[in-house]
Chains A and B, each alone.
Chain A
Amino acid sequence: MSTHTGMAAKRKAPENTTQAASKKRRSPTRVNPALYLFPLPAVAIIAFFLVMPTLQAFQYAITDWNGFSAAFNYVGVDNFVRAFTKDSLFTNALTNNLKFVLLVVIAQTVFSLLLALLLTKNSRGNVVLRALFFFPTILSSVSVAFIWKFIYDPNFGLANSALGAIGLEGLQGSYLGNNSQALYWVAVTQVWFHAGQMMVVYIAGLQAIPRELYEAAEMDGANKWQQFKSITWPFVAPATSIVVAYTTVQSFKAFDLILGIAGNPPKGSLDILSTRIYSTFANSEFGYAAAQSIIFMGMIALVTWLQRRLLRLTPKGE
């Protein structure tokens, strides 16, 4: 304590003696202007590639600009009203997107947690299996889309061929051609694509749990479920927050996967917000597409915020 006070006194001393000179040289509010040059490239890049386009999107969203003509009108909030009241393609895409997000978030969280629980031990077999499950993550989404497009093909696809080979012809189907099922099959692809990545997040969480806790629980007679509920889950809960948030944003933006697997434009049952915005741009409705993009951005922000509010999963004691 005395040392601390002594040092503070030492720091103060020069101010008392050469006050004016010191103020000019060492004022915390005056810095070398050259220092401000360092963040400028980053600021310029962010302003040019992020801030300006975002501001422009807001401006375009209140116009009827077609994307190439010099002529345009300011239409106020008409584009936003149109999206929700006069455009069944947009509301259909919105519904599909919410359904897709919900499906993928639930399935991917459960599946990746299960994988992590099964493969968390560092045995040689588990390492190989982890690599196998992680493998899809290193592929590009377009490759994944094309692989699965052909798996689902009703005539030459692997899915129907496999079912036929084991005598289950009755279960063969059209998959992507069936409006009521198509979204579920694409959700399966999305889960396959990213579950390995999420599994790694969970494995990291699981491997951080001290083994002594399980040993103590076993000695106390706790069964596997009780161990999971009282030890494992509290420790992996923060990882779940990450997995859910990441999966949500990823599912909202599954543009490349949907376009690759369903074609352009995707049919109604597979049209999600990002593909709808793309179609609207392609249809030379630039202003309206910008309005849709802003709605999309707002939705992602809202869902992310809600998740942060509702899913504050932290280990006990924190």
Chain B
Amino acid sequence: MSQISRRQAMAVLGALGFGATAAACAGPGGSTTPGGATGPAAPATGDITGRVSFAHWRGEDKAVFDELIKRFAAKYSGVEVVQDISTSNDYNAQGLQKVRGAAIGDAFATFRGAQFNNFSEAGIYTELKNSKAVGNYQKGLLTAGQSGDSQLGLPYQVVFPMPMANTDLFDKAGAELTPKDWDAFLGMCEKLAASGVVPISWPGGDVGNGGQLFNCMIANNAPVDDMCSQIEQGKLKCTDDWFIKMLNQYKDLVPYLQPNATGTAVEPAQNLFSQGKAAMLATGSYHIAAVRNLGATFPIELVFPNTSTDGNAKFEGVYNATFILGVNSASKNQAASAAWIDFLSEPENAGYYANETAQHVSVKDVEYTNADLKRLSPWLDKKTALAARFQFQNLDVRNAVEASATAVISGSSPEQAAEAAQKIVDERL
């Protein structure tokens, strides 16, 4: 074996180091799209077989999806679907990075709003406009999965991010369930408080769940329906009168929230409601299954905190179409992935998912047999606003704007809280 000098060895190592440096300095976008997301062409066709990774964040639905996977595998022999489940926070933060190379997530779900837009811009979705699945959905609910003329994703769930109500406690207190204006809503809270329960359990210490109340509070206050987009673009401001009015209405809620609400995490808030200590849980219908699991047996309804001051409210409630299903453009098994999405979108299977998870779905002709869903189904036909907080594209802006409401509950003046939020919005413009 020939020998080399230390100098030669150092030169070799130096060359390796230089190569590494040069590789490191390659364009950021260039080398980081393994698998090569190719944009919104229709999913490839072929045999429905092989392995499909289904990436999502709903760990609580795992057993239901497991059953659906069994049924899917029985329909197509040789196909295997595995669930890659993250927590919702992780999925929000890292979903794009995880799914982009299709190492996981041949089929995947996204949140509505910023995450859906990021996935769309990254070219991770395939076009589902002409798919078998899309025809099964209620047309009006598909918009959250559209980008321009393309139907990139299929919003699977319909949730109502409005306070859930324990109707037994409402009956006992003689409080009405459908207040027509803000004074009526406060009157309702007053009656509930007088009956010895906490009127509203609100998880102010949990940004994701505490923020849902914002959808209700802003819907009838804002001058336009795309108010959050306009705040983010600088066309509307948190220091505008209508926003300050909304923050003052948040202040009105303070006596009716549980003590120290801004430090309450979501689980204790759910417990207050499940144990019958609080009449409302200000999160949304997506928590029905959770509170049932905590032992709640009372009838549950939804209540809209109607902020209208003259009784002429534009909206009767708020809804969100989310859990947007898509097929990964970088997937090596698009045929089976698309078939899995088609399968989930069949009314029978969507119905199974809905009834087992207590979530409404946006698929047509689904028969709801779950008692809670049956009771809440009339909300599907009411004049409801699409949940506004998901219009925000910038999470810092969204958090800052929602934090202004929390700050008011903590004791800040609405004007101070609004200014603090607007400062961050201005910095992000």
Contact = CB atoms under 8 A, between A and B. Distances in A.
A130 interface: no
B60 to A, nearest CB: 18
Interface stretch (B88-96, B189-197, B284-292): B88-96
Interface in A158-184: 173-179
B263 A284 contact: no
Given A155-B258, A283-B395, A55 B207 contact: no
A162 to B, nearest CB: 15
A155 B268 contact: yes
Given A48-B20, A279-B395, A282-B93, A263 B427 contact: no
Interface in B194-213: 204-208
A55 B21 contact: yes
B41 to A, nearest CB: 18
B33 A70 contact: yes
Contact of A33 (B4, B121, B260): B4
B9 interface: yes
Nearest to B266: A263
Interface string B373-409: 0000000000000000000001110011001001100
A6 B32 CA distance: 65
A311 to B, nearest CB: 35
Interface string B276-302: 000000000000000000000000000
Contacts of B222: none
Contacts of A56: 24-25, 28
A122 to B, nearest CB: 42
A30 B6 CA distance: 6
B24 A55 contact: yes
Contact of B17 (A32, A47, A68, A155): A47
B36 to A, nearest CB: 11
Contacts of A280: 396
A32 B8 CA distance: 12
B28 A263 contact: no
A48 B24 CA distance: 9
Contacts of A154: 258-260, 263-264
Contacts of A267: 207, 403, 406
Interface of B: 1-6, 9, 12-13, 16-17, 20-21, 23-25, 27-30, 32-33, 89, 92-94, 96-97, 100, 114, 118, 121-122, 204-208, 258-265, 268, 271-272, 394-396, 399-400, 403, 406-407, 410, 423-424, 427
Q: Ordered nearest first, which 5 A-B pairs have the shortest CB separation?
A: A177-B263, A154-B260, A70-B29, A174-B260, A177-B262
18 contacts: A29-B5, A31-B6, A32-B3, A47-B17, A52-B24, A55-B21, A56-B24, A56-B28, A59-B25, A59-B28, A68-B33, A155-B264, A155-B271, A176-B263, A265-B399, A267-B207, A282-B94, A284-B114
